[in-house]
Amino acid sequence: MPFLPAARVRLDVGPADVGRRLTVRYREGEGLSRSDSEVVGVLYRWSGGINDGILRLRRRDGVEVPVRADSIIAARVVPPELSAYAMMRLCQQGWPPLHERDLGPWVMRASCGATGRANSVRVAGLPKGSLSSALRTITEWYAEHDLPPRLQVPIPSGMRDELDAEGWTGRRTSRVMVAPVSKLLNATLEAQDRGDLDITVESEPNSQFFHLTAGYDRHTAPEFEHAYAAVRPAAFVYCRDSKGELLGIGHATLQETWAGATTVQTVPQSRRRGIATAVTAAMARWGQEQGASHWYLQLFMDNTAARGFYERLGFATHHEYEYRWPGELDPAEVWPVDTDELRQQVE
């Protein structure tokens, strides 16, 4: 079956939002008997694709309502929850790319190749035009920026089979993790009172901060410098010992009521000393002072040590996503710099 663009309003929900409460307005019936209906319920299943799938919602009274995706007029996740698409937009606001171009609801992003999120296409729903045409445009655009083409796709996407058929079979999976600020503060109480550490929160990064940032070098410097300078308010956390030696750093930004951590890094000789927890505690306090109610971060799935660290602090998975690229590309070419190490470096 050909992969066709939807001839209807763009939806801000997708198959990755299973488990969230939705408000859906849709048309039912045929011909003159068609009428608009609305249902509010938990999305417990999305069968099929984005354009031709079936959503199944469970209302509070237990009644299950099936809705055809192609009959939907409007759909949204009930606040204060965010859809996977909305969370991906939020993450981009916290780490903006040097260059971007819209492709319908998809956004092509290019920087210096240091991070996946600033050097990939943010996929939300269906692209403008056919999938084949969109992928050709993407490949050409990234070639112009001297970067390998990559898609950042929520899991599930409703287009897995179509992407496989197009040969975009290279994959690396990640997740967005979230936590209430109150829970994060409670989990880091001991770290907030450590007298052996000198922790400061500054408004700008210095040369030491850049030096300790994983993936930062002469080639990738413009990406980090742009991302660190473009978003305000922002916190640059410095954790030093009593002698003034820098042990760890952290970077966080604020988007409305959400604070996001993009960097949490410790020097190798200071690992397992609670430095990352102390840095996170300082960022949590800063977030609370800024009025944030929730935190988010992005983390590669294969970083089990960092995942365990954040889960102990109260983080839970909001949604998973994957990077996809043409299968004929060498993974070493797609990921020439791997910043996802056991220093709690977030993706």
**pLDDT by 10s per residue, the chain, length 347:** 333 333 345 689 999 999 999 999 999 876 555 788 999 999 999 999 988 899 999 999 999 999 999 999 999 999 999 999 999 999 999 999 999 999 999 999 999 999 999 999 999 999 988 999 999 999 999 999 999 999 999 999 999 999 999 999 999 999 999 999 999 999 999 998 888 999 999 999 999 999 999 889 999 999 999 999 999 999 999 999 999 999 999 999 999 999 999 999 999 887 788 999 999 999 999 999 999 999 999 999 988 889 999 999 999 999 999 999 999 998 888 876 555 433 345 55
- Which of 24, 50, 77 terminates a domain? The answer is 77
pLDDT on residue 343: 37
Same-domain status, 119 and 240: no
Domain boundary among 174, 196, 216: 174
- Cβ neighbors of 244 (< 8 A, separation 6 or more) are 198
Same domain membership, residue 294 and residue 214: yes
Q: Does 236 lie in the same domain as 190?
A: yes
Say what the pTM is. Answer: 0.91
In a domain, 51, yes or no: yes
pLDDT of residue 33: 59
User: Do residues 100 and 182 both lie within one domain?
Assistant: no
Whole-number pLDDT of residue 338: 54
Q: What are phi and psi of 342, to 5 degrees?
A: -80, 20
pLDDT of residue 337: 59
Which residues, 6 or more positions from 298, have their beta carbon under 8 angstroms from its beta carbon? 91, 117, 174, 175, 176, 177, 346, 347
Q: Strand pairing of 99-103 and 54-58?
A: unpaired
pLDDT at residue 347, as a whole number: 52
66 and 106 together in one domain? no
Is 329 within a domain? no
Largest CA distance in the chain: 79
Q: How far apart are CA 168 and CA 161, in angstroms?
A: 10
Shared domain check, 249 and 147:
no
Instruction: For residue 59, give every residue at least 6 positions away whose Cβ sits within 8 Å of its Cβ, in sequence order, or none.
Output: 39, 40, 41, 65
Residue 134 lies in a domain: yes
Q: What φ, ψ does residue 279 adopt, rounded to 5°?
A: -65, -45
Q: Is residue 72 part of a domain?
A: yes
Q: Does 313 lie in the same domain as 189?
A: yes
In whole angstroms, give the CA distance from residue 134 to residue 11.
19
Could you tell me which of 197, 131, 186, 151 has the C-alpha nearest to residue 321? Answer: 151
**Which pLDDT does position 2 carry in this prediction?**
37
Here the CATH number for the domain that contains residue 21 is 2.30.30.520
CA–CA distance, 197 with 194 (Å, rounded to integer): 6
- What is the Cα–Cα distance from 86 to 83, expressed in whole angstroms? 5
As for how many domains the chain has, the answer is 3
The Cα 344–Cα 340 span in angstroms is 8
Give the range of the structural domain holding residue 88, as residue numbers without chain letter.
Answer: 84-174
Residue 9's pLDDT is what? Answer: 53
The CA distance from 67 to 38, in Å, is 10
Asked if residue 167 and residue 189 are part of one domain, the reply reads no
